[in-house]
């Protein structure tokens, strides 16, 4: 192996040649690039390929095994006899090859490797194999990747015209083996998922699907993170072409596909990469570097150039052969830190006496630069759990070269905050606001991933404190805050419907919940409506990575556990106001400063009765007042629903129609129902475009009468004024202030009588019929 960057003696080719053509022979140029760590399509050279040689059709097998004494290809075509098809060592002395005629697609094979030190032969699957046997069998299968005809040309043409930074990214994370099962408890195939999953994701208004690892792996309990076949999409769910069909179908429906990729460590099973030719090869000679004691796996040797070719080619393989749109790189911290998950004495500092893995750093930069050179629109997302700087900055700026990074700090802070009883949240208010100390230091994705709903951590809804109603209210509030927070979004399957039990990799999600329990159905409808609202409003995603897209209104109201802020699109006049109340108390007469004079409309409310909320809302136009508040000349007075997030927009924006990224008007009347009644549809068809108040029709009342208690007549009353507001009012002209105050009550609607606005009643614990019904539902679920 030559690491100095000079051509070896056996190489006689042209190093400047830019196009590599696959032939029946291994070219010297391909071999040279492979050993230099710059062959980014090594899968076209190594592995099993259908070729024609001397007029005969067959398969060329090639494998890198420099320490082997001899190698044979064995399989069902030669009755696993090591004497029949021996391989010959290539001119570089490290790659072995053989041509075997008349082998059919699907043939099962392995490499029988005789180590230099003698002993029994080692039976290995093909590191570059495109397909594998179903578990528990472990051999590779010959597969022809040249037959599939792609239909997603329009998708890629459209991608060239846009930047992912300025587009909505609402990712649905999926474990293919447990999203849904058949009635018999069997896996859905890739083609089943193409029909069922894609349809569901589209209806739920997600923009991306991120699959947990789909490379071949022997143990279901590893969730796919302990891989033996990096180039083989797992056969559990079908063939490589079946998976291509799934990707094609996603693109046809405007949905991008992200793959969870694991270049940090690999499985120790005997058919895999560990001690591949009888000695360390893909792993380091240094046991401290090679062993991953925390996960029981083996780390890659990033300093070995052939390993670089293997891994970068593998990333390229998924983009080019399977048309995926992005990779989420697992456990980047494990790659970057020599002491990650290790005790003192289990690691050695680098040459500078530091903890950084210099070879891994160089590899990641090389990986990202290579991918973006060939695929400029690719998504390269780092799961990096530390404060390592500049992860998502370009290499030329001193960064690691990814274009996105998971925000693990935000996730940990917010999940801890949301698990607190609302009584104690006022003393932990910084967990809501601290993320803005670093929110724009990276291009962040806000993940609510699979790691947070397993191993005793509870499901998302189970993390929420309080009774049955409050748990759903808390989750709705959290989701709406998450959507409004700067950064792209990711949610693990099951969170959208409020699944109570933790995720189980060996079982389906609880799809019966929204079918049998009204609150789960409404939670699913809420997720769908919130997702649509996100996609339809540029202010929530067009400027995610700098302060131009965000501005605080009030981040200091820890006493009430309320935050309010503004999200803005590239056009600063296109903005949205978000107010988040993290307690189950209604806040009447709550004043906030706003950017401009005029009227504001409440366009989304997580406390809407259609979503299982209490129905406290601000109806009609909320007119500004010339009362300075929060360092702004104009302010409005709101009724803040209990445990809820509301979004407001200026009336002038609604008239201008600044909403959708698809140039289609947003549906401002958010219902959240998956299927509207015919009466609802007729009403929507006759509604005026500017209508924003979500008043229920007679049909709607009939639809919900079985679940919701009868409402008492609406009553309008004067909002309570805070001491701070009173002090400000005294400084104003008393007569003018008194006259304006008389009009203020007409700007908010209070759906409860004065007696029902107390803390005891607004928590809806036991006094309403709906609460008793949902309590019974909770008991039934348990």
Which positions are catalytic? 330, 383
Contact at 8 Å (CB) between 179 and 493? Answer: yes
Beta-bridge partners for 647: 578, 604
| Structure-block tokens of residue 398 | 């001193």
Pinpoint the alpha helices (H) of 678-768.
678-686, 698-704, 723-730, 734-743, 759-762
- C-alpha angle 7/11/16, rounded to 5°? 70
Full DSSP string of 260-303: EE--SEE---TTSSTTTTSS-SSS-SSHHHHEETTTTEEE--TT
Contact 228, 271 (CB under 8 A): yes
Tell me the three state secondary structure of residue 374. helix
What number of helices (H) and strands (E) belong to the chain?
22, 30
CA 627 – CA 26 distance, rounded (Å): 78
- Residue 770 CB partners (closer than 8 Å, separation 6+): 469, 707, 708, 709, 764
CA 68 to chain centroid, in Å, comes to: 42
> What pairs with residue 650 in β-bridges?
600
The string of DSSP codes covering 520-575 is HHHHHHHHHHHHHHHHH-GGGTSS-SSGGGEEEEEEEETTTTEEEEEEE-SSTTSE
Rounded distance between C-alpha atoms, residue 592 and residue 552, angstroms:
11
What does the buried/exposed string (b/e) look like for 602-612 if buried means 16 or more CB atoms within 10 Å of the residue's CB?
A: bbbbbbbbbbb
Structure tokens at 190: 């890739």
C-alpha distance from residue 327 to each of 159, 402, 646 (Å) = 16, 10, 34
408 phi/psi in degrees, rounded to 5: -70, -30
The 3-state DSSP class for residue 187 equals: strand
- Which residue in 583, 578, 616 sits closest to 594, CA to CA? 578
The CA-atom distances, in angstroms, between 268 and each of 116, 137, 230, 303 are 21, 16, 14, 20
Whole-angstrom Cα distance, residue 129 to residue 114?
Answer: 20
Centroid of chain to Cα 206: 10
């Amino acid at each position: 192996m030559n690491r100095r960057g000079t051509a070896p003696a056996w190489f006689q080719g042209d190093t400047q040649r830019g196009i590599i053509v696959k032939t029946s022979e291994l070219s010297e140029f391909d071999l040279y690039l492979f050993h230099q760590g710059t062959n980014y399509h090594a899968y076209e050279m190594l592995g099993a390929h259908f070729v024609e040689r001397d007029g005969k059709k067959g398969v060329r097998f090639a494998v890198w095994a420099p320490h082997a004494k001899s190698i044979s290809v064995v399989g069902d075509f030669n009755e696993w006899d090591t004497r029949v098809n021996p391989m010959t060592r290539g001119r570089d002395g490290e790659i072995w090859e053989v041509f075997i005629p008349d082998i059919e697609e699907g043939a099962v094979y392995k490499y029988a490797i005789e180590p230099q030190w003698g002993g029994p032969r080692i039976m290995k699957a093909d590191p570059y194999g495109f397909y594998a046997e179903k578990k528990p069998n472990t051999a590779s299968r010959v597969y022809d990747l040249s037959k599939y005809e792609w239909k997603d040309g329009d998708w890629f043409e459209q991608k060239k015209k846009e930047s992912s930074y300025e587009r909505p990214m609402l990712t649905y994370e999926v474990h293919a083996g447990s999203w849904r099962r058949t009635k018999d408890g069997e896996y859905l195939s890739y083609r089943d998922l193409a029909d069922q999953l894609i349809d569901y994701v589209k209806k739920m208004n997600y923009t991306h699907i991120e699959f947990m690892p789909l490379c071949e792996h022997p143990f279901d309990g590893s969730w796919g993170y302990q891989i033996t076949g990096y180039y083989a999409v797992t056969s559990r769910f079908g063939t490589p072409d079946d998976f291509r069909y799934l990707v094609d179908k996603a693109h046809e429906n405007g949905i991008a596909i992200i793959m969870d990729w694991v270049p940090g460590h690999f499985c120790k099973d005997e058919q895999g990469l560990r001690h591949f030719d009888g000695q360390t090869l893909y792993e380091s000679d240094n046991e401290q570097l090679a062993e991953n004691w925390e996960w029981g796996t083996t780390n890659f040797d990033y300093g070995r150039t052939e390993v670089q070719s293997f891994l970068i080619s593998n990333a390229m393989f998924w983009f080019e052969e399977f048309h995926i749109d992005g990779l989420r790189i697992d456990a980047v911290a494990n790659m970057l830190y020599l002491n990650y998950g290790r005790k003192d004495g289990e690691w050695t500092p680098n040459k500078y006496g530091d903890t950084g893995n210099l070879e891994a750093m160089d590899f990641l930069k090389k990986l990202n630069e290579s991918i973006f050179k060939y695929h400029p629109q690719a998504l390269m997302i780092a799961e990096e759990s530390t404060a390592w700087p500049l992860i998502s900055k370009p290499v030329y700026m001193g960064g690691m070269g990814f274009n996105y990074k998971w925000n693990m700090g935000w996730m940990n802070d917010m999940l801890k905050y949301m698990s607190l009883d609302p009584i104690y949240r006022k003393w932990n208010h910084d967990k809501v606001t601290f993320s803005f100390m670093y929110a724009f230091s990276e291009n962040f994705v806000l993940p609510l991933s699979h790691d947070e709903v397993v191993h005793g951590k509870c499901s998302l809804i189970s993390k929420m404190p309080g009774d049955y109603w409050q748990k759903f209210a808390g989750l709705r509030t959290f989701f709406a805050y998450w959507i409004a927070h700067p950064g792209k979004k990711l949610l693990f399957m099951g969170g959208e419907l409020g699944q109570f039990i933790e995720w189980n990799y060996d079982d389906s999600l609880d799809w019966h919940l929204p079918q049998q329990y009204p609150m789960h159905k409404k939670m699913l409808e809420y997720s769908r409506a919130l997702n649509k609202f996100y996609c339809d409003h540029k202010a929530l995603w067009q400027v995610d990575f700098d302060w131009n897209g965000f501005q605080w209104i009030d981040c200091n109201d820890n006493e009430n556990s309320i935050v309010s802020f503004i999200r803005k699109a590239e056009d600063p006049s296109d903005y949205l106001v978000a107010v988040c109340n993290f307690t189950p108390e209604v806040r009447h007469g709550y004043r906030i400063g706003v950017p401009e004079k005029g009227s504001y409309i409440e366009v989304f409310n997580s406390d809407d009765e259609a979503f299982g909320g209490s129905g406290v809302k601000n109806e009609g136009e909320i007119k500004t007042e010339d009362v300075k508040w929060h360092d702004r000349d104009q302010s409005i007075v709101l009724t803040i629903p209990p445990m809820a997030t509301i979004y407001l927009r200026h009336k002038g924006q609604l008239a201008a129609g600044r909403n959708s990224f698809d140039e289609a008007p947003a549906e401002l009347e958010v219902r959240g129902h998956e299927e509207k009644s015919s009466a609802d549809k007729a009403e929507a068809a006759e509604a005026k475009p500017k209508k924003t108040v979500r008043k229920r029709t007679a049909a709607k009342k009939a639809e919900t009468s079985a679940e919701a208690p009868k409402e008492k007549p609406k009553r309008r009353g004067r909002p309570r004024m805070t001491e701070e507001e009173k002090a400000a009012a005294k400084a104003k002209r008393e007569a003018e202030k008194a006259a304006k105050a008389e009009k203020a009550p007409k700007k908010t609607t209070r759906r409860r009588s004065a007696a029902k606005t107390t803390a005891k009643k607004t928590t809806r614990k036991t006094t309403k019929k709906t609460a008793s019904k949902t309590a019974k539902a909770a008991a039934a679920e348990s």
